[in-house]
Amino acid sequence: MPEMRDTLLLRMRQSGWFDVLVFFLAVGIVLVGLSVAGMIQYSVQMSNMAEGLTDFEIRQNLGMLATRRSSFLSIGLITLAATALGVFFLAVASYYRDKVSFQTKKNLGKLRVVLQYLAAIGITAIMLFPIYWMVISSLKTSTELLLPVPTLWPRDFQWQNFPNVLNRAPFVRYLFNTLVSTFFVMLGELVFGILAAYGFAKGKFKGQNVLFLLVLGALMVPIQVTFVPIYVMISRLGWINSFPGLIVPNLVSAYFIFMLRQAFKAVDESYLDAGRVDGLGRIGLIWNVLIPMTKPTLITISIITFINGWNNYFWPKMVATRDEYRTIAVGVTRLRQTFAGMEVANYNEIMAGAVMAIIPIILLFLVLQKYIMTGMSKAAMK
């Protein structure tokens, strides 16, 4: 009996679903634990609550765990129940795996494929729904968009929302500013990133590992921490409302250097030795050996850099206060113009502006997606 139990457990662990069930088990336990903590917090806070407060005031004074204790408990119990059900079916399937006929196994395999496709379609639908909602919202009237019960399809297509966006704000100028700043940021990150990655991957100098650790540390520091000194420096240089102010602080990317260093280290030293025999210098080795051999990774991180630059919001909002230098991410927020101090509820036009802003990124991804997939897979293997 113990031997059979151990064999069954081994079969279950060999299944790809076992790790998924363990993950959901951990999630359910965490949620139940948060619910218990919320109940304790609720009892403590209610005992110290002043008398005569309304229900709204009580809810405002309660902590986050106390107010959401029921939700945590419900979701946690549902997750644990689903996990238990999954473990039961996995155990049954593992027990009868060697006792069913070939045709039954074939049918189960087809069923598994169908379930995988259904799960993939469901996850894809969830991820794409915000984009779908943005597109259909850009084609609605403002009144329809603000209905208490939202409509999943426009009653009357409002194609004039897109020309209205171009008339309401200098959207073409925003697109031009974004394209210029993003292009030069990507170019700078390419040049400096390649040179730095070559030094860290193939160079030998004192403090090499320490300097690379500093580069890795820069990955963990958000711009909200460093933007004050950078902003002061840019202001003193007179680069507020200028392209240098948008571009120069973003010319070096720690992420770019890290990814390229990993790719360059994977190139065997014998290729570089062969290049040196042919008379290539450092720049020649980079241009003729390293870049061609790491082209998928290089293209991938260049595309990621372009997308990040295109979607950058925080820094352009700080240094570009005039329409002449605003980028597309900041420009979309400018579509909410004010009249007599009141904001206009033109969410449909804001959505139209957002649709226009993401079109270049979607086209870029559709054209270069094979390079992104190849580069990501190679970077993961390295």
Report the amino acid identity of residue 174: Y
Q: Which two tokens stand for residue 303?
A: 């595309």
pLDDT tens for the chain, residues 1 to 382: 454 455 555 555 656 667 777 888 888 899 888 888 888 888 887 777 777 767 777 777 777 777 888 888 888 889 889 888 887 777 776 666 655 555 566 666 777 788 888 988 999 899 889 889 888 988 888 788 778 888 888 888 888 888 888 887 788 888 899 999 999 998 998 899 899 988 888 888 888 888 888 888 888 887 778 888 888 999 998 889 889 998 998 888 888 888 888 888 888 888 888 888 888 888 888 888 888 888 888 888 888 888 888 888 888 888 888 888 888 888 887 776 544 444 556 778 888 888 888 888 888 878 777 766 665 555 545 5
pLDDT tens digit sequence for 275-308: 888 888 888 888 888 888 888 888 888 888 888 8
- 330 vs 375: CA distance, rounded Å: 30
pLDDT for 340 equals: 40
| Start-to-end Cα distance in the chain | 44
SS3 281: coil
pLDDT for 342 equals: 46
Specify the pTM.
0.67
- 88 vs 82: CA distance, rounded Å: 10
Report the amino acid identity of residue 137: S
What residues have CB less than 8 Å from 315, skipping those under 6 apart?
Answer: 223, 227, 246, 249, 250
- CA 135 to chain CA centroid, nearest Å: 20
Place of tokens 């897109």: 162
- 203 vs 265: CA distance, rounded Å: 10
C-alpha atoms less than 13 angstroms from C-alpha of 92 in its C-beta half-sphere: 5
Planar angle of CA 124, 220, 294, nearest 5 degrees = 65
How many beta carbons lie within 10 A of that of residue 9, not counting itself? 13
Distance (Å) of CA 156 to CA 135, 149, 352: 14, 16, 15
- Scanning the chain, the segments in alpha helix (DSSP H) are 2-14, 16-47, 55-61, 64-67, 69-95, 102-137, 142-145, 161-168, 171-202, 208-219, 223-236, 243-247, 254-265, 269-277, 282-285, 291-293, 295-311, 314-319, 328-333, 347-381
DSSP 48: T
